[in-house]
Amino acid sequence: MKHPNPTSADERAKRMLDPGFGKVFTDHMVTIRWSEGQGWHDAQIGPRQPFQIDPAASVLHYAQEIFEGMKAYRSGNAVTLFRPLENSARFARSAERLAMPVLPDDLFIAAVEALVRTDVDWIPEQEGATLYLRPFMFANESFLGVRAATEYMFCVIASPAGAYFKGGAKPVKLWVSDDYTRAAPGGTGAAKCGGNYAASLVAQQQAVAKGCDQVVFLDAAEHRWVEELGGMNMFFVFDDNTLRTPPLGTILPGITRESILTLAAEQGLKVEQAPYDIDSWKADAASGRLKEAFACGTAAVVAAVGEIRWNGGEQLVGGGVEGPVTTALRDELTGIQRGSRDDRHNWRHTIAL
């Protein structure tokens, strides 16, 4: 059902002028329910509106919730998604880890496509801006016993978005947390569940207090190996033309990460998924062996890292400026996403309007 009273074109244009990240929302949302016995049912597209949620809904107590982040791009008359089946597959893996029902790929894709089609006027035109899409699912059975719920709500909302970081393309500063870790072996680090982010917020507050943009989380066992940031994966560029990123396991398997591994190999870099310890990062940044570092993710795209700070020290990375490998990889990735570069891997998914 279309919104009976949608945002006017003037008001929409005003809100989309400088949307920031995650603050402006479109008029519609998709919902699909799941319950034991009935399975997936009651798929709807309708006005974006608050949920009525029982105070005993299990998500409010035990945090059974997962989500995805993806973007819709406008290129000429076409509207595209980037590797949406990868998001669907990861959503399914997150669901399995959180003991939630798996939404079939065709329903996931149809839900996202339907929302983009309905709210197509909300896809920003300006350079660097996109329509950010947030599929998510939560347990909404009213029950306080601790077990997997028997009722769930899947939903997709959309948000016109500009740069994730307030500084735009300025290299970001990272705070190395030695108090907090994000994930442990056997935990939920590889799942995109709300609880991972809840647990990261106190470290993020410390980072902001130290003048930084994001937290670098180290591994839980040794507090030594670089894992990832609160909401992005990490890459390192060395003076011998090597590009290194931490291996999978306790980190989120980023779709941007995987795409960059492919593109970097095509650009002639020696690509490795290998552990990197924080003391080497500090020393290599100081010696110049580490030429560049960057963070990547759907929301942040590719963000150069200009500095790391920790309890008792700080160190510029790459002289504090963005390096050429970071720029080349971002240009290639965003070029493919926006349709100005050859889509050799069939990563673009066109939505029929």
From the list ligand PLP, ligand COI, none, partner contacted by residue 83 (C-beta under 5 to 8 A by kind): none
Looking up tokens 């590797």 gives 83
174 close to 214: Cβ distance less than 8 angstroms: yes
Q: How far is the CB of 104 from ligand PLP (least distance, A)?
A: 20
Q: How far is the CB of 235 from ligand PLP (least distance, A)?
A: 11
At 279 the three-state DSSP class reads helix
CA separation for the pair 84, 343 (Å, rounded): 15
Gap between the terminal Cα atoms of the chain: 17
CA separation for the pair 192, 97 (Å, rounded): 10
Tokens of 306: 């200009």
Tokens of 64: 């059974």
CA separation for the pair 75, 313 (Å, rounded): 45
- Residue closer to ligand COI by CB (options 69, 189) is 69
From the list ligand COI, ligand PLP, none, partner contacted by residue 219 (C-beta under 5 to 8 A by kind): none
246 scored as a contact of ligand PLP (CB under 6 A): no
- Residue closer to ligand COI by CB (options 141, 213) is 213
From the list ligand COI, ligand PLP, none, partner contacted by residue 255 (C-beta under 5 to 8 A by kind): ligand PLP
Looking up tokens 């396991």 gives 249
Q: How far is the CB of 297 from ligand COI (least distance, A)?
A: 4
Q: How far is the CB of 232 from ligand COI (least distance, A)?
A: 7
The residues in 283-342 that bind ligand PLP, with binding defined as CB under 6 A, are 297-298
The mark string for 249-268 relative to ligand PLP (x by CB under 6 A, - otherwise) is ---x-xxxx-----------
| 255 φ/ψ angles, rounded to the nearest 5 degrees | -75, -35
- Residue closer to ligand PLP by CB (options 69, 84) is 69
Q: How far is the CB of 257 from ligand COI (least distance, A)?
A: 11
Alpha helices in 131-268 (DSSP H): 194-209, 255-266
At 59 the three-state DSSP class reads helix
- Residue closer to ligand PLP by CB (options 67, 310) is 67
From the list ligand COI, ligand PLP, none, partner contacted by residue 254 (C-beta under 5 to 8 A by kind): ligand PLP
Looking up tokens 């809904």 gives 57
Question: Where along the sequence are the contacts to ligand COI (CB under 6 A)?
Answer: 69, 231, 297-299
Q: Are strands 172-176 and 214-218 parallel, antiparallel or unpaired?
A: parallel
Q: How far is the CB of 183 from ligand PLP (least distance, A)?
A: 9
The residues in 226-245 that bind ligand PLP, with binding defined as CB under 6 A, are 228, 231-233
Q: Which of 214, 210, 220 is CA-nearest to residue 233?
A: 214
The mark string for 28-67 relative to ligand PLP (x by CB under 6 A, - otherwise) is ----------------------------------------
Q: How far is the CB of 297 from ligand PLP (least distance, A)?
A: 3
CB neighbour burial string for 268-297, b if at least 16 within 10 angstroms, e if fewer: ebebeeeebebebbbebbeeeebbbbbbbb
Q: How far is the CB of 226 from ligand PLP (least distance, A)?
A: 13
Q: Are strands 270-273 and 242-245 parallel, antiparallel or unpaired?
A: parallel
Binding site residues, ligand PLP, CB under 6 A: 69, 228, 231-233, 252, 254-257, 297-298
